[in-house]
A and B are shown apart, each in its own frame.
Chain A
Amino acid sequence: AQSVTQLDSHVSVSEGTPVLLRCNYSSSYSPSLFWYVQHPNKGLQLLLKYTSAATLVKGINGFEAEFKKSETSFHLTKPSAHMSDAAEYFCVVSGGGGYNKLIFGAGTRLAVHP
């Protein structure tokens, strides 16, 4: 069965400093992995996705993530945080079989301080 674990429920950074949101996954086969962001009172937006192509994935708004099979990790990073990055971030794995069943992590709430 597929699952994801987000290692931090809350992360707080200062504006202009790097962001690291950690995610480990468990999958019985080569997974499809995603990061989604949810701003307050808004729907989910896809930041980036990994589907067995390049292991370093670049997404929107300067975010990127690296798929590391040996560590079963898919951490999300950004070199310099912006106030508008404050939101909840979800690491997600596809349930497999080509179907659209997404399995979400518990989420990491990112706070950005001036």
Chain B
Amino acid sequence: KAGVTQTPRYLIKTRGQQVTLSCSPISGHRSVSWYQQTPGQGLQFLFEYFSETQRNKGNFPGRFSGRQFSNSRSEMNVSTLELGDSALYLCASSSPQRGLAGAPGEQFFGPGTRLTVL
């Protein structure tokens, strides 16, 4: 199976602009989660989508949003970019873990999109 793919791999934007990042999950995976990785804050959960619905959200401002399409592909959008939004944005997909009700499935991570805000 092909892994999780993220596009683009690198982006450079200026303050005030907006950006859209894309994530294609592993075939058959219906859950897509997004994470932000920065040197100062580490890895932080942004949100999770399952069957086109956001079912969990981290502690980020409303400038960060996302959506999921019927084919499970997901996009995240950041509006009014700030310098502090410079980060590696990681996407992960998973499917439910069989036999353990409520247990999280293994998450498979993509290579990330490195966003630089100037």
Give me the interface of A with B, judged by CB distance under 8 Å. 32, 36, 42-46, 49, 51-52, 90, 94-95, 97-107
**Do A100 and B94 have beta carbons less than 8 Å apart?**
yes
User: Known contacts A101-B48, A107-B42; is A94 also within 8 Å of B109 by CB?
Assistant: no
Please name all residues of chain A whose beta carbon is closer than 8 Å to the beta carbon of B92 when the two chains form the complex.
Answer: 44, 100, 102
Pick the residue among B4, B44, B90, B103 that contacts A32 (CB under 8 A): B103
Please name all residues of chain B whose beta carbon is closer than 8 Å to the beta carbon of A46 when the two chains form the complex.
Answer: 106-108
**Do B58 and A101 have beta carbons less than 8 Å apart?**
yes
Please name all residues of chain A whose beta carbon is closer than 8 Å to the beta carbon of B42 when the two chains form the complex.
Answer: 104-107
Bound Cα distance from A75 to B109, whole angstroms? 22
Give me the interface of B with A, judged by CB distance under 8 Å. 4, 31, 33, 35, 42-45, 48, 55-56, 58, 90, 92, 94, 97, 100-112
New A-B contacts (15) at CB < 8 Å, excluding given A95-B56, A98-B103: A43-B90, A43-B109, A43-B110, A43-B112, A45-B109, A46-B107, A49-B106, A95-B45, A99-B55, A100-B56, A102-B33, A102-B92, A102-B107, A107-B42, A107-B43
- Could you name 19 residue pairs across A and B whose Cβ atoms are closer than 8 Å? A32-B103, A32-B104, A43-B4, A43-B90, A43-B111, A44-B90, A46-B107, A46-B108, A95-B56, A98-B103, A99-B48, A99-B104, A100-B33, A100-B48, A100-B92, A101-B33, A102-B33, A105-B42, A107-B43
Closest-by-CB residue of B relative to A94 is B104
Pick the residue among A32, A49, A51, A101 that contacts B56 (CB under 8 A): A101
Q: Smallest Cβ distance from B114 to chain A, in angstroms?
A: 9
**Do A51 and B97 have beta carbons less than 8 Å apart?**
yes
Bound Cα distance from A94 to B104, whole angstroms? 7
Bound Cα distance from A104 to B90, whole angstroms? 13
